[in-house]
Structure 1
């Protein structure tokens, strides 16, 4: 496995604040994967990002049915991730909340992600 040292991004301030690596670098990568719609930015490869834009205008049942697959496909390109499992889905108003467990070469952690219209 190659070195995972990368710039540490403060998403709240839109600034780079030094460096990060290992599990923290992976968490940052996952946030980026889940923030970028697939095929929208030519700077990213065709495998980078999520497909949740396909859910616009679809029923709640459809979105709940594809959410796990979309997250799994989005994260499956990263060799540091061993498994994505234990999904819990909930809705509130116009948002879908997805909670899942990431098993990585650096350890496990729980991620919660909001998909909003």
Structure 2
């Protein structure tokens, strides 16, 4: 019997983690997904971009596989007026992303009203792998919110 094991293709470039953060930082090794299909494995910045996107798309407290710190609270903004939502979306975005120990800072650059039921939030997420741009749409009507 042949003992060869098929190896999963990985990215050639793996970003370095500063030594002082390595012990307390979760591994970022994950699947590289393109067009909804797993293509290979990835780590570092690409994995962090995927993690930020996933946090913005996941409602907190809904899925039992995640702890109570994972995801966002954007659903709480349903039915709220624009002025209230504008203040809260900044806090909620920061809280959601900073729950990941690889995130060092979150900056919201702009919050604009797309229409009477949608806010567009643009900012950046500073991580141990560099800056990741953040763009998300948050619905204020009863049909729900979306993360882009």
Q: Is the 8 A contact 1:81 1:102 kept in 2?
A: yes
| CA distance, structure 2, for counterparts of residue 86 and residue 71 of structure 1 | 8
1:81 aligns with 2:103: yes
| CA distance, structure 2, for counterparts of residue 35 and residue 98 of structure 1 | 14
Bigger relative contact order, structure 1 or 2 (CA pairs below 8 A, ≥6 apart): 2
The structure with the largest strand share of the pair is 1
1:107 aligns with 2:143: no
1:26 aligns with 2:42: no
Q: CA RMSD in A?
A: 1.4
Return structure 1 stretches of 4+ with deviation > 3 angstroms: none
1:8 aligns with 2:40: no
* 1:28-50 deviation per Cα after TM superposition (whole angstroms, max 9, x unaligned): 00111110111111111111100
TM-score (norm 1): 0.89
Q: Is the 8 A contact 2:90 2:108 kept in 1?
A: no
| CA distance, structure 1, for counterparts of residue 70 and residue 82 of structure 2 | 25
| CA distance, structure 1, for counterparts of residue 92 and residue 33 of structure 2 | 24
> Structure 1: 5+ residue runs without aligned partners?
none
* 1:28-78 deviation per Cα after TM superposition (whole angstroms, max 9, x unaligned): 001111101111111111111000111111111111010110001101111
| CA distance, structure 1, for counterparts of residue 135 and residue 126 of structure 2 | 14
> Structure 2: 5+ residue runs without aligned partners?
1-21
TM-score (norm 2): 0.72
The aligned counterpart of 2:3 is none
